[in-house]
């Protein structure tokens, strides 16, 4: 099922400069696998080698932070918007 | 160079003063080139600390959507230093997510707040001019 994935500026260079791309999958993990298949430069940028979400990104399914859903096992449906945002913090 | 509207500068300083004694933070919406910040998005500091800040990610998401609807984008972040200079701390440099962004610091060390802006690329800090129009 196609979902829209919105990329932060820092990742757009790996996706031909696009702010938004389409990807398929039943779960968030599927979507990110499909995303890396389309744009290999995104490998390791959102999901770690250990298969977890990077701590310096926040991922939303529509208005919900997926860390409070099922993380990478979160189900996605046709038309969902997945937003990837850099975690913004400092001191 | 980063240009701020007078309203954006005033709202930013007001948000930082209102956040005392903790650090305050928020995002800048505008055009990336030339770098004009025309909309300010004050956000909560989830760290609720006088030494650290974390932009509320849901407010970040909403700011990102609002900027896009206005035909703009998020071009940077600001936060206050309550008792130190308006210069990026080692934590700020280590956690700077985007080399395209403008990192604005508001120092409340003195009675008159000081606003400075920096680019942070590969751990290197470059100050840029701030023009208020």
Give the long-range contacts of residues B8-12, CB within 8 A, separation 24 or more: B8/B37, B8/B38, B8/B39, B8/B40, B9/B115, B9/B132, B11/B40, B11/B42, B12/B40, B12/B42, B12/B78, B12/B104, B12/B106, B12/B115
Cβ neighbours of A9 in B, within 8 Å: 32, 73-74, 98, 100-101
Record: contact A83-B61, CB cut-off 8 A: yes
Domain boundaries, chain B: 2-132
**A18 is a domain residue:** yes
Assess A78–B contact: CB distance below 8 Å, yes or no.
Answer: no
**Is the pLDDT score of B10 beyond 90?**
yes
> Which of B88, B97, B99 lies closest to A88 in CB terms?
B97
**pLDDT, tens digit (0-9, with 9 covering 90-100), for A3-59:** 999 999 899 999 999 999 999 999 999 999 999 999 999 999 999 989 999 989 999
Can you give the residue range of the structural domain that contains A21? 2-86
CATH of the domain at A20: 3.10.20.30
**A31 is a domain residue:** yes
**A91 is a domain residue:** no
pLDDT of residue B97: 81
CA distances from A90 to A34, A55, B45, B47, B115 (A): 32, 14, 11, 10, 17
Cβ neighbours of A80 in B, within 8 Å: none
Looking at residue A43, what DSSP letter applies? T
Assess B5–A contact: CB distance below 8 Å, yes or no.
Answer: no
Cβ neighbours of A86 in B, within 8 Å: 97-98
Assess A18–B contact: CB distance below 8 Å, yes or no.
Answer: no
Name the domain count of chain A: 1
**A58 is a domain residue:** yes
> What percentage of chain B reaches a pLDDT higher than 70?
100
**pLDDT, tens digit (0-9, with 9 covering 90-100), for B45-56:** 999 999 999 999
Instruction: Render the burial of B42-70: b for 16+ CB within 10 Å, e for the rest.
Output: bbbbbbeebebbbbbbbbbbebbeebeee
**A54 is a domain residue:** yes
CA A14 – CA A41 distance, rounded (Å)? 5
Q: Is A91 helix (H, G, I), strand (E, B) or coil?
A: coil
The CATH architecture of the domain made up of B2-132 is 3-Layer(aba) Sandwich (3.40)
Residue of B nearest to A85 (CA): B61
> What percentage of chain B reaches a pLDDT higher than 90?
97
**A70 is a domain residue:** yes
């Amino acid at each position: 099922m196609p979902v829209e994935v919105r990329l932060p500026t820092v990742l757009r260079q790996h996706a031909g400069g696009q702010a938004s791309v389409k990807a398929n999958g039943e779960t968030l993990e599927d979507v990110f696998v499909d995303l890396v298949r389309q744009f290999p430069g995104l490998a390791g940028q959102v999901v770690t080698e250990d298969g977890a979400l990077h701590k310096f990104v926040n991922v939303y399914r529509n208005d919900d932070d997926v860390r409070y859903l099922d993380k990478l096992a979160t189900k996605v449906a046709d038309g969902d918007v997945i937003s990837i945002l850099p975690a913004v913090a400092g001191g | 160079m980063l240009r701020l509207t007078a309203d954006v500068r005033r709202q930013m300083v007001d948000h930082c003063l209102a956040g005392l004694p903790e650090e305050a933070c928020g995002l800048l919406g505008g055009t990336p080139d030339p770098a004009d910040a025309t909309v300010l998005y004050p956000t909560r500091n989830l760290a609720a600390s006088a030494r650290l800040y974390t932009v509320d990610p849901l407010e970040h998401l909403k700011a990102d959507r609002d900027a896009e609807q206005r035909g703009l984008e998020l071009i940077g972040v600001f936060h206050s230093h309550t008792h130190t200079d308006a210069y990026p701390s080692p934590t700020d440099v280590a956690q700077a997510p985007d080399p395209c962004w403008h990192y604005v610091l508001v120092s409340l060390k003195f009675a008159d707040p000081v606003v400075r802006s920096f680019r942070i690329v590969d751990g290197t800090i470059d100050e840029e001019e701030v023009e208020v129009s």
